[in-house]
């Protein structure tokens, strides 16, 4: 089960690569942006929890995004231990350019909407099962 999931993830990420390159994003950066477009600011720990990434992986990624002018990082005034990530105007404006990404990926994948939903649901169940055992 593990190798097919790994291979599928790798191949899907390759499909994303040229699309995201047009926006200057990597796939992990795109995932961060999706979460921030849903609601910002978010703490580093909240982003890590949603993305299943530890802060050692996430912090350098966020620093690169900050250097690119997409996000800001600041200490939470209510709890200095927390770092909040927010969108810049450039990061927020990128949303309009990214709106076509799901459609372009769907076209490139060769999957019908029904097939994609079936796979998404099955993998979602797997994630929930594994989370309960972790």
pLDDT tens sequence across 24-67? 999 999 999 999 999 999 999 999 999 999 989 999 999 999 99
Statement to judge: residues 121 and 92 lie in one domain: no
Statement to judge: residues 107 and 93 lie in one domain: no
Task: Give the residue numbers spanning the domain of 80.
Answer: 2-98
Statement to judge: residues 21 and 85 lie in one domain: yes
Statement to judge: residues 44 and 20 lie in one domain: yes
Predicted TM-score of the model (pTM): 0.91
Residue 30 in contact with residue 16, Cβ under 8 Å? yes
Statement to judge: residues 26 and 70 lie in one domain: yes
Statement to judge: residues 26 and 76 lie in one domain: yes
pLDDT band at 19 (very low <50, low <70, confident <90, very high): very high
3-state secondary structure of 61: helix
Statement to judge: residues 93 and 106 lie in one domain: no
Instruction: Tell me what pLDDT residue 66 has.
Output: 98
pLDDT tens digits along 105-130: 888 888 888 998 999 999 999 999 99
Instruction: Tell me what pLDDT residue 35 has.
Output: 98
Please name which of 80, 81, 63 lies closest in space to residue 72, comparing C-alpha atoms.
63
Instruction: Tell me what pLDDT residue 107 has.
Output: 87
- Domain count for the chain: 2
CA distances from 95 to 31, 89, 104 (A): 12, 10, 15
Please name which of 45, 2, 24 lies closest in space to residue 91, comparing C-alpha atoms.
24
Statement to judge: residues 88 and 58 lie in one domain: yes
């Amino acid at each position: 089960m593990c190798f097919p999931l790994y291979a599928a993830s790798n191949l899907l990420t390759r499909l994303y690569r040229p699309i995201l390159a047009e926006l200057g994003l990597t796939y992990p950066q795109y995932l961060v942006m999706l979460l921030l477009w849903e609601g910002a600011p978010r703490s580093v720990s909240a982003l890590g929890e949603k993305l299943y990434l530890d802060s050692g992986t996430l912090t350098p990624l966020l620093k690169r995004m900050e250097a690119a002018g997409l996000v800001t990082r600041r200490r939470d005034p209510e709890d200095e231990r927390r770092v909040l990530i927010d969108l810049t105007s450039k990061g927020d404006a990128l949303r309009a350019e990214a709106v076509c990404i799901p459609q372009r990926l769907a076209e490139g994948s060769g999957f019908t909407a029904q097939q994609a939903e079936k796979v998404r649901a099955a993998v979602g169940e797997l994630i929930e099962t594994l989370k309960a055992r972790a």
